[in-house]
Structure formats: structure tokens, C-alpha cells
Structure 1
């Protein structure tokens, strides 16, 4: 059940901005901002529950708010840069277009949080719950999401250059069109994740679970999928030149039209995979299992053992 938010307009004449919870005016017209922040920080760090509170455009920069209770709080356009929210309760909070660069959300409950177009570069989300989080068009460059749970999260169009996703859960997440170049996603769980047209070049997916994932038209040049599971995954029309699939599982995978030139597929399990139209010039297939694979129209000569 959603928390009912008491919305009051700013008392300043001709201002249609919402008033802050605990004040009669909005952030722009608040005279003693430092005093307001000091008192609010004290409340939040002393167990005060600000669920559903309105803090539009507030400046919390550098605040230590460990364990703060801000479920379904409204913080759009807020400055949260460098804040510490470890183990905070931010379930369903609204942080659209907020600046949370270098903030620490370690082990925070951010389930169903709304972070569309937020700036989150360098932020830490280690072990945090971000299930069903909305992160579309957000900037996550250099962020650490290791061991976080982003099941069913929306990451469409997100900027995720050099993000750490080690052992991160991204089951059923939607990262269509995201920029995920040079990510570190070893042992990540991306079962049934949607990665269509996503840029994942130079990504490290060693031992990751990508079963049933959709990487249609994805760009994964020089990615490392060594020992990864991609059973039933779609790499249709994707670009995976020089990618490493050594001992990877690709049983029943859709590789139609995929560019696998120069890829390493030694010892890969390609049973019942569909390779029609795939480009395999220079690919290394020593020890690969192609039993039942559809290779119509492709000249595959396996090297002798």
C-alpha cells in the first residue's frame, strides 16, 4: 500500500512549488537552510520516520544518514552527492534527476525506488536491494553494484561505463539500449535479462548466468564469456568479434546472423544452437560441441584434435 503524501504548496506568493515537510515554504524560499538540514539530519539519524515526506530539491550534500527511514519520500532534483545512506530504508522513494554521485547506499533497501535520469556516478550500492528499481537514463559510470539485487530493474538507456556488477542479480532486468562498456560482471545473474542493442564491449562476464537472456543486436566485441551460461540466449545479429566463449554453455542459443569473427569458442557447448548466417571467419572451435546445431549455409571445419 502506498503512503499518502500530504502535499502543501509553498506559502510564498506566486510560488507553485511544493512546501517541504516540516516547513511552510519550498527549498528555494527557505531562509535557514543550514538549520533545517541540521535538525532534519538529527531526526533521521535518531530513528525518525520520514516516510512519504516531501523534500524536493533539498541539499543533503555530504550528510551521514545511516539507517534513515525515507520510504516513498519525495526527493526529486535533490543534491545527495557524497551522502552516506548505508542500510537506509528508501523503499519506493522518488529521486528522479537527483544528484547522488559518490553516495554510499551499501545494503540499503531501495526496492522500487525511482531514479530515472539520476546522476549516480561513483556511487556504492554493494549488497543493496534495487528490485524493480527504475534507473532508466541514469548515469552510473564507475558505480559499484556488487552483490546488489536488481531483479526486474529498468536500466533502459542507462550509462554504465566501468560499473562493477560482480555477483549482482539482474534477473529479468531490462537494460535495452544501455551503455555498459568495460563492466565487471563476473558471476552475475542475468537470467532472462533484456540487453537488446546494449553496448557491452570489453565486458567481463566470466562465469555469469545469462541463460535465456536477450542480447539481440548487442555489441559485445572483445567480451569475456568464459565459463558463462548462455543456454537459450539470443545473440541474434549481435557483434561479438574476438569475444571469448571458451567452455561457455550455448545450448539452444540463437546465434543467427551473429558476428563471431575471431571469437574463441574452444570447448563451448553449442548443442542445438542456431548458427544460420553467423560470421565465423577466424573463430576457434577446437573441442566445441555442435551436435544438433543448425549450421545451414555455414562452412565449419573443426580442427583435428
Structure 2
């Protein structure tokens, strides 16, 4: 079998544990090929067809997969450190415990990835990407770049975020329950119909963020800055909002019932009279005493 650009492996589908490090496989046909455990570090797989390929536990460190098609493949346990996956197609790709650390995922096409738990995206660049209907549960996003990323119906429950760039992020109908977002900079992000119950937003900044109808029950948001955010119809019941800021925020019909609000600043918040402050604890700042029962 000739290994080279545009190689056709349709008649040689068993490449399990093969050593293909540095191989020139641009535009190769690897559809349905068994590459489990294969070593493809530094391989050139630009434009390669890898639909339904078995890449479980394969090593693709530093590989070039620009515009490769990995749809319906299984990359569980694969190592894709520093791989180039720009504009790669990954529809319904299985990726349990795959490692994309420092990978270039700009404009990657990730759709319907329902089996992708425990994935690491630490240091990866997702900027400019659009993705829909993915399940990245228990994932690690330390230092992941989300600039101008658009996501819809993406579940990232119980995931860890740290040191991220969220500039221009658009998140629609997505889930961040039980996530760690301590100190996150989400200023100006659009988080529509967000479900982030029990998330940790301690010290995070969400200035001018769109959070209409967000479900933020039981969040830890001590010291969080929601200044200028649109929280119309948002639910923040039983949340820790100690020393949080809602300066110039829209809180019309928002629900703060049973939340800890000691030192919480509502200066010039719009819609305070229509928000629910039933049974809050502590003493908020710049909130009319007629809207809550002082301790």
C-alpha cells in the first residue's frame, strides 16, 4: 500500500497500531479505516477523509488535520495536542477522554457530538467556531479561547473554566450547571436561555452581558459583577450574591428569593420594584427597604 498524498486505503483498512509519524497523507481516503493506537504524530492529513475511522487511543500530536473530515469517527482517548484542526468536520464524532490541549480549533465544525465526556480542551483555540448540539460533560477548558464562538444547545455541565477569553461569545440554550467559572471574564457575552444552576461564578465579571431568562439558581456569585447586564426574567434563587454588583442592570421580574444579598449593590438597577426579593438575607445596598424585609 502506497503511503502518500491522496492514498486510498479502501482495500487496506487495518492500520491498527501503525507507525505513520510524519506521513504525507494529504487528501487520503481513510474512511472506515482502523487506526486504533496508531502513531500519527506530525502527520499531514490535510483534507483527508476519515469518516467512521477508528482512532481510539491514537496519537496525533502536532498533526495537520486542516479541513479533514472526522465525522462519525471515534477518537476516544486520542491525543491531539497542538494538532491543527482548523475547519475540520466533526459531526457526531465520538470523543470520550480525547485530549485537544493547545489544538488549533479555529472555525472547526463540531455538531451532534453526544458522546464526548471528559475531554480536555486546555489551551485550545476555538475562536470563530460555530457548534450545535454537543455534550462536553466534565470537560476541562483551562485557557481555552472562546473569542467570537457561537454555540447552541451545548452541554458543558460540571466542566472547569479558567483564564478564558470569552470576548464576543454567543451561547444559546446551553447548559453550564455545576461548572467552575471563578473569575471568568464574560463581559458583553450573549448567554441566551442559559442554564447554569449551581455554577461557581465567584469573582466573575458579566458586565453588559445578556442573561434574559437565565437559570442561575444556587450559584456561588460572591463578588460577581453583573453591572449593566440584562437579567430580565432571570432566576437567581438561593444564590450567594454577597458583595455582588447589579449597578445599572435590568432586573425586571428577576427572582432573587432566598438569596444571600449582604452588601449586594443594586444602584440604579432597572425594574427593582418588579423583582422578587422574598426572604433574602443580609443587607443589600441601594435597594429600597420597601422591596425586602431588613434583617
Provide TM-score, normalisation by structure 1: 0.84
Hey, what does 1:211 align to over in structure 2? 192
Hey, what does 2:108 align to over in structure 1? 128
Q: Which runs of 5+ in 1 are unaligned?
A: 1-19
CA deviation profile, 1:25-81 (whole Å, cap 9, x unmatched): 6645x6xx45xx67xx44x31x33222222111100011221111122111100001
Compute the displacement of 1:103 (Å).
0.7
Q: Secondary structure at the match of 1:190?
A: strand
Hey, what does 1:196 align to over in structure 2? 177
Q: Secondary structure at the match of 1:160?
A: strand
CA deviation profile, 1:137-163 (whole Å, cap 9, x unmatched): 011111111121232111100111111
Compute the displacement of 1:183 (Å).
2.0
CA deviation profile, 1:258-283 (whole Å, cap 9, x unmatched): 11112121111100001101112122
Q: Secondary structure at the match of 1:170?
A: strand
CA RMSD of aligned residues (A): 2.0
Looking at structure 2, the residues matched to 22 and 78 of structure 1 have their Cα atoms a distance apart, in angstroms, of: 21
The correspondence for 2:62, drawn from 82, 89, 95, is: 82
Alignment of 1:57-136 (within 5 A): 57-133=37-113, 134-136=115-117
Looking at structure 1, the residues matched to 56 and 117 of structure 2 have their Cα atoms a distance apart, in angstroms, of: 15
Looking at structure 2, the residues matched to 24 and 127 of structure 1 have their Cα atoms a distance apart, in angstroms, of: 30
Structure 1 range deviating more: 210-219 or 285-294:
285-294
CA deviation profile, 1:189-217 (whole Å, cap 9, x unmatched): 22211111111111121111112111100
Number of equivalenced pairs: 276
Hey, what does 2:210 align to over in structure 1? 229
The correspondence for 2:241, drawn from 245, 254, 260, is: 260
Q: Secondary structure at the match of 2:70?
A: coil
Looking at structure 1, the residues matched to 140 and 28 of structure 2 have their Cα atoms a distance apart, in angstroms, of: 34
CA deviation profile, 1:86-123 (whole Å, cap 9, x unmatched): 11111122101000011111111112212110111111
Looking at structure 1, the residues matched to 31 and 13 of structure 2 have their Cα atoms a distance apart, in angstroms, of: 18
Q: Which runs of 5+ in 2 are unaligned?
A: 1-8, 289-295
CA contact (8 A) 1:164 1:184 kept: yes
CA contact (8 A) 1:189 1:210 kept: yes
CA contact (8 A) 2:173 2:194 kept: yes
Looking at structure 1, the residues matched to 31 and 248 of structure 2 have their Cα atoms a distance apart, in angstroms, of: 53
Q: Secondary structure at the match of 1:65?
A: coil
Hey, what does 2:6 align to over in structure 1? none
Looking at structure 1, the residues matched to 13 and 260 of structure 2 have their Cα atoms a distance apart, in angstroms, of: 65
The correspondence for 1:293, drawn from 259, 268, 275, is: 275
Change in CA separation of 1:130 and 1:186 when aligned onto 2, cut-off 3 Å: same
Q: Secondary structure at the match of 1:180?
A: strand
Compute the displacement of 1:284 (Å).
1.9
Looking at structure 2, the residues matched to 27 and 295 of structure 1 have their Cα atoms a distance apart, in angstroms, of: 61
Change in CA separation of 1:166 and 1:291 when aligned onto 2, cut-off 3 Å: farther
Change in CA separation of 1:196 and 1:303 when aligned onto 2, cut-off 3 Å: closer
1:269 and 2:250 correspond: yes
Looking at structure 1, the residues matched to 167 and 88 of structure 2 have their Cα atoms a distance apart, in angstroms, of: 22
